[in-house]
Structure 1
Amino acid sequence: MRTTEREGNWGTAGGLPVADRPVAVPVTAPPSRVGAGNHRNLVAIHDHLREELRQIGQAAADVASGELDAGAARNLINRMTMRQNRWTLGSFCAAYCRVVTIHHTIEDTHMFPAVAASAPELGPVLHRLEAEHEVIADVLDRFDRSLVLLVQENAAGAEWASGNSVAGQPNEGTREVQRLAQELADLLLSHLRYEEDELKDGLATLTGPI
């Protein structure tokens, strides 16, 4: 079992302690010519997700500082190009719950079954990744809901219309947006790195691209 994290901070999120993460065992199937590039492609997509996660964090900070209103922040996040990569793990854009659900469905019916068929030794890792999908989806849902509430209150002309309270300090709504942005970053960064570490050999055994 893996007890440390190379990136992010999963901790015990969702009742799934990081210490309980299964570690990949050696796979018996040899790498294929096509599959050899799968891990590299996955890391490249994850790097794109990491960059967009950084932008989400910046947008949340801008809302809290009054430099960006909640509606603009939500529109920015929903426009992010990662919605074009809905099959990737941890996708988190465009009407969060709906898109993540679609993404997870595609993931669960495409890449994971392919890896399970080619490298059944990785079954425990795949099950863990699927469970982490659900935890991340919950954070995405709460994050989007918090932005929606800020948009609604802004439209109603609340005191924090600019993203700040009257005293110039972030109010509870903006603090919640920042908190959830950090929670999302902690979980997603850990999740992506875990996937990269444990599926590397399994992805190489696939006879087609991911």
Structure 2
Amino acid sequence: MSPPPPPYGRLRALGHHLVEIHLWLREELDRIRDSLDADGPGVRPRDLRAHCLAFCATLTRHHTGEDRGAFRMLAERVPELRPVLRELEADHRLVEAALRRVEDLLDGTHPIEKVRNELDTLAALLETHFLYEEKKLTAALDALEDGRTEDLLGVPLPPQDW
């Protein structure tokens, strides 16, 4: 989500960017879950697989960016966060496993309820992960003065209509 144009816009801190990215990812997952019934109960929309795979790729890129970018920088500059960062990296592995389960269910041979249940599980896992990450890291990320959002958080800010 890009900031509004001047004179209203100003640079936002990286922690704020993290929250914006998480909000966008939540919205995208909600859209996917809502699309399960877009063509009527039990009918999988033709583009569900494409949307899910794009979401999975974006989320994976975000978590990989955090692990390789922001988390490494924070571990160096704020060593007391290292236990939290290890927990968050472990969460990333749990999310990765959940994403693989979702992808495996998108081959068209599974009942829509099974897909819905796995997406609901993923949504619950992400919600707790995002909230914990935001609570523990936002202030520390805001204090960082160098690095681009894409380099440190894995993805650029999502577009937003102003």
Partner of 1:124: 83
- For structure 2, the residue ranges without an aligned partner over 5 or more in a row are 1-10, 150-162
Alignment of 1:95-106 (within 5 A): 100=60, 103-106=62-65
The answer as to whether partners of 2:15 and 2:141 remain within 8 angstroms in 1 is: yes
Q: TM-score, normalised by structure 1?
A: 0.58
Q: CA deviation at 1:64?
A: 7.3
Partner of 1:183: 121
Partner of 1:72: 47
Q: CA deviation at 1:57?
A: 1.1
The DSSP-based 3-state class of the residue aligned with 1:65 is coil
- For structure 1, the residue ranges without an aligned partner over 5 or more in a row are 1-33, 92-99, 154-171
The answer as to whether partners of 1:53 and 1:185 remain within 8 angstroms in 2 is: yes
The answer as to whether partners of 2:95 and 2:126 remain within 8 angstroms in 1 is: yes
The answer as to whether partners of 2:42 and 2:112 remain within 8 angstroms in 1 is: no
Q: Percent identity?
A: 32
Q: CA deviation at 1:194?
A: 0.9
1:115 aligns with 2:91: no
1:76-118 deviations in Å (ceiling 9; x for gaps): 33345x85xx4xxxx1xxxxxxxx2x55443222110011111
1:198 aligns with 2:136: yes
124 and 61 in structure 1: CA distance in 2 versus 1, 3 angstrom threshold: farther
Which fold has the larger relative contact order, with Cα–Cα distance below 8 Å and residues 6 or more apart in sequence?
2
The answer as to whether partners of 1:64 and 1:174 remain within 8 angstroms in 2 is: no
How many residues of Structure 1 are paired with residues of Structure 2 in the alignment? 138
Partner of 1:157: none
1:146-201 deviations in Å (ceiling 9; x for gaps): 011x1xx4xxxxxxxxxxxxxxxxxx621110100100110011111111111022
Which amino acid letter does the alignment assign opposite residue 177 of structure 1?
Answer: V
41 and 118 in structure 1: CA distance in 2 versus 1, 3 angstrom threshold: same
CA root-mean-square deviation: 2.4
Pair member with larger Rg: 1
The answer as to whether partners of 1:125 and 1:198 remain within 8 angstroms in 2 is: yes
Alignment of 1:89-100 (within 5 A): 91=59, 100=60
Q: TM-score, normalised by structure 2?
A: 0.74
